[in-house]
Structures are given as C-alpha cells and as structure tokens.
Amino acid sequence: MVTREQVLEALRDVEDPEIHKSIVELEMVKDIHIDGGQVSLEVVLTIGGCPLRNTIEQAVREKVAALPGVTSVNLRIGSMSDEERARFAAKLRGRQEQQAVPPLLDPAKGVVFIAVASGKGGVGKSTVSANLAIAMAAHGLRVGLVDADIYGFSIPAIFGVDDQRPTVIDDLILPIESHGVKLISMHFFVPENHPVVWRGPMLGKMLRNFFGEVHWGDVDVVLLDLPPGTGDVALDVHQLLPKSKELIVTTPQANAADVAVRAGLMGLRTNHEILGVVENMSYVECGHCGERTYIFGQGGGARVAAELRTRLLVQIPVLPATSGRGMIFAEGTPQREAIHNLARQVIAATGLRATVRST
C-alpha cells in the first residue's frame, strides 16, 4: 500500500509556477489520507483565485496517480489562512525581520546589477533593457528586470503583460515572469492611465520596496531600466547599489549624445563601472539589397564612448513598425542579432557564467 511519505516524495517535484519552489517545501500539501488505493489530500494555495490553480492541480493529480498501488485521487484545492499565509511569506523572505539588508542586496548573494541609463527620453532605452534581459535569459542566466522609470514605465507594455497584476502574499510581491525574465514595475500598482504624482523621497521608497518586498528568488543579474536624465531615481540607484555597473544608451544624433554623456559622467562620479555604450536606431537596412541609410546621422555612440573613455558595444538598427503588442526583437532580425551580441559582451565583462540555450 502506498504511504504518506511516498506521496510527499512524489510531490516534491511539483513546483509552485510563480515561486519555483516545491509545494512540499512550501507546506502547501495538507491532510493526506490513504485508504487502500484511494489517496485523499488537500493543496492550499496562497489566494482563492490563484490564476495557476489548474496547473498545480493537474501536476499533483498526475504525480500521485502515477504511484504504484494508487487507484484514485481525491484532491481538494483550498486557500491559506491568514496565519498560514504569513508563515508562507516569511519562508519566502528567507530572513529574520530584523535583517537590515534585503536578500537581493546582500553582497554574499553575488547578484550583478546593471543600470541602463540615457540622457534623454525617446532613445529606446526601455526597449534595449527588455530585449537585453531576454537575451541574457536565453544565455542561461536567471534574470530580473526592475522598471525603475517610475513616471514613464513601459516595460510591461514591451513584454505584453501590461494587463497582468502580481500576486501579493502578506505584503510580499511575486514578480510577473515573461520570456524567462522576472519583472516588476510601477505600472502594476497604479490605476490605468493615472499619473504618478510623487516627490523624490517617495520615489526612493518605492525603489527600496522593489528590492526588499519583491520575492526575487535566485537571480544572477538584475537590470534596472532607469528614467532618463540624472534625477532622484538615478541618485537613489547610485546610493543603494554602489557597485552597480552601467550601460549608456544613445542614438546617433548630437543632442542625444550630449545628454548621454552627462548621464554617464554621473555614474563615473559615483564610482560605477561603465560597461559601454549602446547606439540605438543607428540605421535602416534595406531588406532587399542590405544598403544602410543613416536617417539620424552618424557618430553619436562613438562620441559618447570616447568622452566616457569606454567602448561602443553595439549599434542596433531601427526597429520596423510592428502590429503586435510589445517590442520584442523577432528571431532572425538584425536587431535580435545585435542584442545577443550585446548580451555576450555584457556577460563576458561582468564575469557571469552563461550556457547558451538559443540566439
């Protein structure tokens, strides 16, 4: 006859899809009763309307039914009590309340932080951030992406997840996951089309919440899509992450390059390492003959790199108009080739270990 221990052992392979931890480890399996070949049990979810309920239910049924001697599975799906939810959140945090440093910022974790900055808006900084995150995830890294552009958040729309909302468990936020990247953005916490009217201290508090109140789990690298310029959020990032590295995004135009240099100088003055410069919207390439047209001029990225004493890492061609939601570079395009080239250079420069899964 099957035993309780065998049931639990079989379910250790079932993970909560949002948290990527075993439902046994998370104490979500309750009230196992065995009567001959009949197994009854309950799985408690964090919230009653969990969107991934069917996924968990199917996995549990399959695992238990596959055990030798099991003839039927009676599975009940419940939701956690307030006390259980508090214990669950504490387990995810993995730290005592008195711990001053959030796990994500603990130097022992070895997380690499890369801020993606620009001097002005409209240069495609968020598009670069999103696609670089996806490319690094495709290279086998565990990637987080913080949409730190509190006023002009656009990362959820680029990924096509702007209609989703994160699960919140006892004030612990589970990031949205898309294309293998864990995402958090101010967009998820404000009503649609409502402006964020906050002063500097509130912006810094929200950024700290993104680090401390979001369950990031195990990540190798976190990208931060900064707001353009050298304002409060950029200052907070420099203070919170003194060892953060930076990428500077510009376009070829002289005015974009001028302000990009100022953004880079701010990073240098706070002892951040500038990994290099990304020139976006560099040219339009003819799909038939391959001829390049430099509609925004030439030389901006190289000039920024020279003034910051760093390298121009990559030039990304203009992204054609797309009919779908989001701005993810399609496979086989020059944009995708360029962003994977950038990912390889960033991985090498930061000492991250990657296993290429796809390009």
| Count of positions (residues) in the chain | 359
Task: Please check whether residues 57 and 167 belong to one and the same domain.
Answer: no
Task: Please check whether residues 271 and 232 belong to one and the same domain.
Answer: yes
CATH number, domain containing residue 228 = 3.40.50.300
- Look at residue 88 and tell me if it is in a domain: no
Task: Please check whether residues 196 and 255 belong to one and the same domain.
Answer: yes
Residue 281, Cα to own-chain centre: how many angstroms?
24
Amino acid at 205: K
CA dihedral (183, 186, 187, 188) positive or negative: positive
Q: What are phi and psi of 170, to 5 degrees?
A: 50, 50
Task: Please check whether residues 185 and 255 belong to one and the same domain.
Answer: yes
- Look at residue 93 and tell me if it is in a domain: no
Task: Please check whether residues 30 and 116 belong to one and the same domain.
Answer: no
* Interatomic CA distance for residues 22 and 12, integer angstroms: 5
Amino acid at 172: L
Q: What is the pTM of this model?
A: 0.79
- Structural domain for 271, as ranges: 103-350
- Look at residue 305 and tell me if it is in a domain: yes
Coil vs helix vs strand at 15: strand
Task: Please check whether residues 331 and 290 belong to one and the same domain.
Answer: yes
Element (H, E) at 346: helix 334-350
* Residue 223 and residue 129 in contact, taking contact as beta carbons nearer than 8 Å: yes
- What residue spans of 68-178 are helical by DSSP H? 82-93, 125-138, 155-159
Per the structure, how many domains does the chain have? 2
DSSP at 183: E
Task: Please check whether residues 60 and 108 belong to one and the same domain.
Answer: no
- Look at residue 108 and tell me if it is in a domain: yes
* Interatomic CA distance for residues 10 and 12, integer angstroms: 6
* Interatomic CA distance for residues 300 and 280, integer angstroms: 10
Q: What is the pLDDT along the chain (359 residues), one digit of tens a residue?
A: 889 999 999 999 998 877 888 899 888 999 999 998 999 999 998 876 666 788 899 999 999 999 999 999 999 998 888 788 777 877 776 643 445 567 788 888 889 999 998 878 889 999 999 999 999 999 999 999 999 887 778 899 999 998 888 888 877 888 999 999 999 998 887 766 555 544 445 556 777 788 888 888 889 999 999 887 655 666 777 677 878 899 999 999 988 888 899 888 887 877 789 999 999 999 998 777 878 899 988 999 999 999 999 999 999 999 775 534 458 998 988 999 999 999 999 999 999 987 655 44
The residues, any chain, with a CB within 8 Å of residue 165's CB and separated by 6 or more, are 188
CA dihedral (289, 290, 295, 297) positive or negative: negative
